[in-house]
Amino acid sequence: MSAASKTPRHIALDILCRVERGAYLDRLLDAQREHIRGPDGDLLQHLVRGTLTYRARLDHILTPYLKKPLSRQHAKLRNLLRLGVYQLQYLDRVPPYAVVSESVILARHILGEPIAKLVNAVLRGVAEDRRPVVFPDFDSDPVEYLAITTSHPQWLVARWIKRYGVDETRALCEFDNAQPTLTIRPNALRTTSDALREQLALEGIDTEFAASNLLAVSQVGHLFQSRAYCEGLFSVQGAGAAMVVPLLDPQPGEAVLDLCSAPGGKTTAMAERMKNRGFILATDLYPRRLEMLKKNTHRLGVTCIYPLVADARYLAVNRLFDRVLVDVPCSSLGILNHHPDLRWRKCDIHGLAHLQRTLLDSAADYVCPGGVLVYSTCTLEPEENERVVEGFLSDHPGFQITHPYLQLLPHQTGNDGVFAARLKYSV
């Protein structure tokens, strides 16, 4: 069956199963943009993101209705049940009978009549049970309680409780589950915040002024089919991420290196800040990701960015750049509200920290005397943030911290979790 002929629920099920096998949610949803738009596209986003966000809680609700543990069920059945319970628990506009009926029809189509009967029994049981859900006792096991009620992996909840305490961890997890606000950055080469807001209003898209000269979009709708988007008047960027480039502060005419640059939100922000004058070498290891950057630079009218497929650790450009940004691969634990699938992926924090330190060591060789190096992540974990920088400084006495660390905790600031350190190289 082609994607165009599938219902949003069927596509959602396919995506959930592929995410379980290791695929990235954003890439899967992007691949569907041409096939499913409008209300059906919105429903697909809601179903997939919601089911992934509340997966642990949904599994807990389902457990009493199954003889065999959910983990031992067929992947399609497991995710079909999660999808159904998510709709029963969180989509008030869909009547329970309709949720059960649609789920049974889908089960019958892809898994056969016996499984359809099981789906019917389980979802009807959940829908008709008026008893409150029983969760683990908070006082005796706060880790398990928060892991299930806020739907986060136990290892992460335990880690955050040890660092932040129970109340802060609860607030952080609840923020991760909140619907994120989409913010956009006006293209300073072509427009202003006021002018962009007026243009979008003419196209039926409401916005509000937000931090860091951004606009918050209340309803995405046809934003990415709008004239303003096609004419390159804005880029998508979070308020936290938007604070990193001002910390680097690239100037018109300078030579700038952006390591690990794709998909290019910070790269294009640099070009706009530099008034499209100067030279930005934007490297990334993956050609497909750099293609995204190339498309954005063309749409935005940026001509000073030069993409290069390369390993950031092995560039023959020693001491050539006035400013270097190394926005390293990380665990992304500061942006779980945007990427609900990431909380369920295996995460090797110590392995990432080793890679990050290697990239930072390499970046140090590319900064000219008197130049600036900014190290940034979108994670909250000290091993990937301040400990990487502290270890680097102890081995590179020519670099000094020039500003306090930029550290944003999502539940305290309302922004994405971001860390950045600004270092200056003095011979």
| Rounded-to-integer distance, Cα 268 and Cα 149, Å | 39
Q: Which residues of the chain have pLDDT under 50?
A: none
Rounded CA Rg of the chain: 23
279-284 vs 418-425, strand pairing mode = unpaired
Are the beta carbons of 318 and 363 closer than 8 angstroms?
no
- Phi then psi for 156, rounded to 5 degrees? -75, -40
**Whole-angstrom Cα distance, residue 390 to residue 316?**
26
Question: Residue holding tokens 């943030």?
Answer: 385
Q: What is the pLDDT of residues 65-77, one digit of tens each?
A: 999 999 999 999 9
Residue that the structure tokens 């590179």 belong to: 396
Catalytic amino acids?
378
Q: What average pLDDT does the structure give for the chain?
A: 95
Domains of the chain as residue ranges with CATH: 3-128 (1.10.940.10), 142-177 (no CATH), 182-236 (3.30.70.1170), 241-425 (3.40.50.150)
Residue from 272, 215, 270, 276 nearest 247 by CA: 270
Query: Which DSSP string do the residues of 203-219 spell out, in sequence order?
Result: TT--EEE-GGG-EEES-
What is the pTM (predicted TM-score) of this model?
0.94
Helix axes 96-111, 113-128, angle to 10 degrees: 160
Question: What are 245-294's pLDDT values in tens digits?
Answer: 999 999 999 999 999 999 999 999 999 999 999 999 999 999 999 999 99
